[in-house]
Amino acid sequence: MKILVVEDEQLLANALRLFLESRGFTVDTVYDGKSAVEYAGLGIYDLVILDIMLPGLDGYQVTRQLRAARNGVPILMLTARSDVADRIEGLDAGADYYLPKPFDTRELLACVNALLRRQGEQVEEIAFGNTVLDLAACTLQCGEHMVRLSAREFEVMRLLMQTQGRNLPKETLLARVWGYDSNAVENHVEVYVGFLRKKLRSIGSDIQIKAVRRLGYHLEVAEHAETAAD
């Protein structure tokens, strides 16, 4: 599990990193709002821990920019400002949870685990349109019809379905399915999306995998499954 910590107080940022690493997380740290948007925009993090008072963009602006870019990464906001109006502004901007400073590390850990769980670690299937992805069997099902997915097809489909219609950059798919170290290129993503489109059609699914130039892929539900080819 990979966490991005955004906190301009470097001592606190380091303490958070060390604490989370000691609990088995991989942690990157950035110290200002602009870097936060860039890093979180890579789509490789399972969670962002975000301070509100930051140089450049503040935590609210960072959250709004990420959500406007259809980035659904769970965001845990940290702040010394603990009145209700601030909390509401944070949640309105699209944060998932709000933890006032100072906090106990056990409380932080409980929040982190809750948000990561909520992201779907224990879910057994994900539905979109008329189609269900079975996470244990690695199959796509639509009514009576079912098709088995290869390991890579499954990973690509899972990420697309988890984002529930929001955009998923091609680089994110590449990094999360093939890993940064592999020799895979963006073409691999296109090939696997092609396989998946074929399999979706074969079971009469109304899911369409839409490609948006330079932005990546997202899912849409077709009006008529029969005309789903694109």
Interacting residues with Ca ion (CB under 5 A): 8, 51, 53
Residue with smallest beta-carbon separation from Ca ion: 53
Residue closer to Ca ion, measured from CB, 8 or 155: 8
Minimum CB separation of residue 54 from Ca ion in Å reads: 6
Distance of CA 83 to the CA centre of its chain: 29
Beta-carbon contacts of 167 under 8 Å, excluding residues fewer than 6 positions away, are 69, 70, 212, 215, 216, 217, 218
Nearest Cα residue to 129 out of 153, 155, 154, 160: 160
Neighbours of 1 (CB within 10 A): 16
Local structure of residue 223 (DSSP, 8 states): S
In the complex, the smallest distance separating the C-beta of residue 99 from Ca ion, rounded to whole angstroms, is: 13
- What does DSSP assign to residue 213? T
| Nearest distance from C-beta of residue 150 to Ca ion, angstroms | 45
For Ca ion, the closer CB: 29 or 172? 29
Nearer to Ca ion, 83 or 144 (CB): 83
Q: How far is the CB of 210 from Ca ion (least distance, A)?
A: 39
DSSP string, 121-183: IT-SEEEETTEEEETTTTEEEETTEEEE--HHHHHHHHHHHHTTTS-B-HHHHIIIII-TTS-
Least distance from Ca ion to the Cβ atom of residue 50, Å:
10
| For Ca ion, the closer CB: 10 or 202 | 10
Q: Which is nearer to Ca ion, 32 or 171 (CB)?
A: 32
Nearest distance from residue 39's CB to Ca ion, in Å? Answer: 17
Closer Cβ to Ca ion, 13 or 228, answer by number: 13
Q: Which is nearer to Ca ion, 56 or 165 (CB)?
A: 56
3-state secondary structure of 217: strand
Q: Which helix (H) or strand (E) holds 221?
A: strand 216-221
Alpha-carbon span 100 to 103, nearest angstrom: 6
What's the min distance (Å) between Cβ of 94 and Ca ion? 19
In whole angstroms, how large is the CA radius of gyration of the chain? 19
